[in-house]
Amino acid sequence: MTTIDSASPRRGPARRPRFKRHEPPPLRLTDDDIAIFRHVAKHRFLRSTHLIRLMDRPAKKLVERLGALYHNQYLDRPRAQLDYYATAGSAPIVYALGNLGAQVLSEIDGASAPKVDWTDKNRTARRPFIEHSLLVADAMVAYELATRARPDLLLMEPNDILARAPEATRRARNPWTWRAKVPHAGTMRDAAIIPDKVFGLDFTSERKRYHYFLEADRASMPVVRTPKSARTSYNGKLAAYYFGHRAREHTHRFGIGNFRVLTLTTSPERIATMLAALKEITGGAGSNLFLFTDRATLAAAPDVLTLEWINGKGERVRLA
């Protein structure tokens, strides 16, 4: 008869390291796997929780499949998230495209083999860049899921909008560069910014299209630059959008008749600071061009289309 020493704790099977690949069993790719590659390639980085929502599959099975795709080098797990695990415990794993995943997509799309070493790019990606990309993904995944449930509503991707832009814009090295002349110290200076994301909502039954420039703000820059500071500030972005809009840059450069600037930031307090800065820019009037929300409010919204944003006049509005 076998006896168990009650003083000795029972030990289960050792958990494999999360960020070290092991020898995996053979893997046959499925249509779901290809869809996962496309989602990750589109957003650059996604959490496992993003992919569970996008794929609408049982969480446990999908997490297991993501692990298999990682160990087979189709997906990657950026190592910059290791410091988060060291300080904050368990969290959803962040995934990026691996070299084999990129190769599969290029073969399916009939493109030449990618020259980018995604393993190297993922290894050198720093945590601030990853977290900024994930904040953008929080918003865009929410809009993708919301438009899926609306047969009368389509999510317009950047390429859909760019296809209707003037030829000079389509041929530009970075077509989404937004340029404006902004008043500064009694003169007009040139300003140029690139939105974090450009997308649109096409209400097909109403035959109306609305365009949005998304800014993901992690509070890594001051809202207002002090006279002695050389750092960029968020009100510089607000001013560039505001004065560029007045000059109809959106029509001249992108061929669109309307747009709004969506700011997803960290807290209601930071939104209040941004609204104050916007009033300074607009002579106290504010502007409906701008809409603001924070990431906790976005995460709590059951449907991003019914989410109440705060506009540049301090009023609550919805996109749909």
- The answer to whether residue 9 scores a pLDDT higher than 50 is no
Query: What is the spatial distance between Cα 35 and Cα 51, in angstroms, rounded to a whole number?
Result: 10
- Per CATH, the architecture of 31-125 is what? Orthogonal Bundle (1.10)
What would the two tokens of residue 294 be? 């924070």
* The pLDDT of residue 17: 59
Task: For the chain, give every domain's residue range.
Answer: 31-125, 132-317
Residues 6+ away with beta carbon under 8 Å from 166: 252, 253, 254, 255
Amino acid identity, residue 124?
T
Confidence of residue 16 (pLDDT cuts 50, 70, 90): low
94 three-state secondary structure: strand
The DSSP element (H or E) to which 181 belongs, if any, is strand 178-184
178 against 10, higher pLDDT: 178
CB 307 within 8 A of CB 290: no
CB 67 within 8 A of CB 73: no
CB 308 within 8 A of CB 317: yes
* The pLDDT of residue 2: 35
Structure confidence by residue, pLDDT tens digits, 49-61: 999 999 999 999 9
What is the mean pLDDT of the segment spanning 155-168?
96
25 against 237, higher pLDDT: 237
* The pLDDT of residue 12: 44
In the sheet with 46-47, reading across from the earlier edge strand, the strands are: 46-47, 94-97, 75-76
Mean pLDDT of the chain: 89
CB 215 within 8 A of CB 261: yes
The secondary structure of 240-301 as a DSSP string is HHHHHHHTTHHHHHH--S--EEEEEES-HHHHHHHHHHHHHHTTT---TTEEEEEHHHHHH-
85 against 203, higher pLDDT: 203
Query: What is the spatial distance between Cα 265 and Cα 296, in angstroms, rounded to a whole number?
Result: 9
* The pLDDT of residue 30: 97
Q: What is the sign, positive or negative, of the torsion defined by CA atoms of 98, 100, 103, 107?
A: negative
Q: What is the sign, positive or negative, of the torsion defined by CA atoms of 12, 14, 16, 18?
A: positive
Q: What is the pTM of this model?
A: 0.88
Rg over alpha carbons for the chain, rounded to the nearest Å, is 23
